[in-house]
Structures are given as C-alpha cells and as structure tokens.
Amino acid sequence: MIYDVVILGAGVVGGMAAYQLSQYKLTLAVVEAKAEAGMGASCANSGIVHAGYDAEEGTKKAKLNVQGNAMMSDLCKTLDVPFRRNGSMVVAFNEDEMAVLLKLLARGKANSVPDLTMLTPEQVHQKEPYLNKVCGALYAPSAGIVSPFELAIAAVETAQLNGTDVFFNTTVRSLTEQEDYVLVDCGEKQLKARFVLNCTGVWSDTLAGDETFVIHPRKGEYLLLDKKCSGLVQHTIFPTPSAAGKGVLIVPTVHGNILLGPTADDTEDRKDTGTTAAGMESILIKCQKYISDLSTKNVITSFAGLRASSTSKDFIIKFAPNSRRRINAAGIESPGLTASPAIALLLEKMLADAGVVLEKKHNFQQRPRVVKPAEMSFDEKNEWIKQNPAYGRIVCRCEQISEGEILDAIARGAVTVDGIKRRVRAGMGRCQGSFCLPTVLKMLAEEGKIDCTEVTKCGGGSVYIKGTNR
C-alpha cells in the first residue's frame, strides 16, 4: 500500500495536519516515536494562544500566528478542548521598557492584531490588583490559553476516527525518495507515501534532507502552582521582551492553576527534559518582580520541555531541496501552538498545489464529547451516575476524577499513566498522584490485559513496578 500522505510526529503540529487532512478522501498515516500523541513539546509548554504582536512583520510566524489565533475558539469548541480568551499584558517597569512596548504596539498593528491598546498603571492595577507597581502595559484582549496536550490528543483521535492509521512507539530511521513514493524506514515497519510531512519538532533537521537549517533545542523549565492560587492573575503576564526572548511569564491555565516560566537554556541533548534547583530559583526570582510574595510553598510540581529553536528566525515550512514529495514543518517554536491550525491549512495548500486531489468526505466525524462530571449540574451528574455507577466512584480526590472518566480515557486510546493524566487530569492535583496512582495502574493493567509490571508512565522503559513478591 502507498499512503497519500504520511505525517511524522503526533504533536500539535502533526496532529493538526492529520486532523485537517482526514477531512478528505485520502489515505493517511501518522508515525510517532512516543507512546501517545502530544508527549513531546506539546505536553510541556505555556499553553498560550499568542495575540501576534511579537513576530516580525511579513514572517510566517506573524501571519500564521494571527490566523491561528482567529481559528482557535471555534476549533477548540469543535474538538471539545478547553480554551479561554483571557487576554495578555506585556508589563513595563521603566521608561525604556515603555518605549519597547510602543514598538510592539506598532508591530502588532502591522500584523493585524485586533484591539491592541496601551494601559496606564491605574488600568493595569484595576485588571490585575496583585501585580507590583508598573509604568504601564501593552494589552492584547485576543490572547488566550488552551490545553496544548489535549489539543494534540483530540486532533489525532479525530483523525484516527476518520480512518487515519497511527503508529505509536515507532521511530523513523530514514527517508528515501523514489520516483513514485517516499520510503519511510521505521526498522521492522516500512511505509510508502506519495508525500511526507516532517513535523518532528526537535528532531526535524535529522529527517529534513535540508542542510540550510539546524535545530538547536532550547530547554524551558516551569513551575506549576496549586489551584488555590487561581485568582493570582487573570491575564497572561509577560515581561518586556529582550534579545534573549519573551522572558519568564505568569500564566493562568485553563484548568485553574498558575504556571510560572519558562527558562531558556540551549542544550545539545534532544532528550534533556530534567528540571533543576537553579531553574526553580531563577523562575521564582524573576516572577517575584511581578508579584513579591510568590514562594515555593504553593508549587505542586515542576517540569521542562524542549523548543525546536532553529538557525532560521522564522518557521521553516517548505519542500526539502530537490524534492517533490517531502515537506518540512520545522523550527516551529513559539508561537507554534497558536499557529498550528493555520500551519495545517498551509500544508494542505502545499499538497494541493503539488497535485494532491482534495475531495471532502461526506461521512467525516468529530470525536464524541468528553464526559466531564465535574462541570455538570448536580442533577446532570446524578443522571450520569444512574446510567453508569462508575462515574460516581472517585479515583483522583484532588481533581475529583471518577473511575468512569478513566475508563473512557482508556477506551479513547490512553495506554500510559501520563496518557490518563493528560486526558482527564487524574494525578494532576496537589498530591500529584500519590493517592490515585495505584488505582490508575491497576485499571490500565486490567483494561489493557497486561501485567502491572508492564504499565508505564510515558512508554519505553518508564515502568513503575519492577516485579512482585507473589
């Protein structure tokens, strides 16, 4: 079999491409090295839907950011993914920084960012009373927040529902272009594709067939605060950017936590997602500039992700040199999450221009809505419990996640503890799974018909139990 399109990578960019293309009568496959969708950069970023004032005018970043931002609300509603347009502020603490904000304002208007405005110190304090005294802020009401890993999961799940083959735990070794197809060598598995979309994040240059750019992974560490801090800020708070980047942020999440970070440290290790005491200290010191009494007492976890920073200052979305069949979507760092639905449309257009016939399916299906008892009224919740008592048995006390929700997540494709966590938030609360983990492990083993020693945190060798004393 020769697939029409094989997509490499099941992060938010690859996932959105799969979702978009699965609406057409095409044979599609997604190849992902990890155990589930959204387990790379998509599971460890800020979750910000950027307004679009940051990127240089005329770049792909600028155009696709604004386009993707405009698409996000309807897209998330369709995919049943949490999204909120909470707005953002870039704050300034002196006159020099205020001058930078005016430049961002002008750039944002040139990029067609809607409703950008400057706020006085009094207006900032009115919107964010816990912030320290500032000189002013650039306010972007079109900015938002989304659950990045849920967006990737939902996109891939919907693509699968519509006939896309998805190969997890599958690493691409090489791509060889033939006359009529590209051979995708995955070791024991060999795939053929008329077109290949390379959406592999920090690994994209290794499969690009393009020596004009190199990916330099940039590690960003984060701190997550307990939900009791949820009222600390309502908007996403940015510092005035510098040559080093956007800086350390304070970000509300769609689930009610507060996220602090990220750091920005270049690394040669494309698997380096470890956190450090120095990173935690650096984040706290920088965030205390905004809110003085931040401390570690409300930090419930820390994590790190790798951004696909490249030698190009723009997204690299183009055919590989001397290729008619391989398209790279590389260097998709910030605002890649925001731009992802627009990137999918661009990839679709490139395929159409290359001769791919895009005929809409008449039977395209959206994935079923996710059952969320915590968001239901008392009567609605009781009705669900009457129909299925599993929704009345709480497994995760911190997040009030039921046995029924975990079973639903497994039925939808979760095979790891992190897969459960990111789909329904079991283990995301204050105790970070200390209470619910044994039950989740047991349920994954029973539903997957495997031994408990085979259940992993995130695939590979990340087992919890090495053996039993039975």
Catalytic one of 50, 216, 235, 255 = 50
Amino acid at 41: A
Copy the structure tokens of residue 161. Answer: 């529902």
Phi, psi of 407 (to 5 degrees): -65, -40
- Per the DSSP assignment, residues forming a β-bridge with 165 are 29
Closest among 18, 38, 34, 37 to 26, alpha carbons compared? 18
Output phi, psi for 96, to 5 deg: -60, -40
Residue 108 and residue 211 in contact, taking contact as beta carbons nearer than 8 Å: no
Give CA separation, 267 vs 11, 42, 405, in Å. Answer: 21, 18, 38
Under 8 Å between Cβ of 401 and 437: no
Does the annotation mark 235 as catalytic?
A: no
| 319 Cβ neighbours under 8 A, 6+ residues apart | 326, 327, 328, 350, 354
Q: Would you say 343 and 353 are in contact if contact means Cβ atoms under 8 Å apart?
A: no
Closest of 400, 338, 376, 415 to residue 76, by C-alpha? 338
CA distance 227 to 235: 16
Number of Cβ within 10 Å of residue 272's Cβ equals 13
Residue numbers annotated as active site: 50
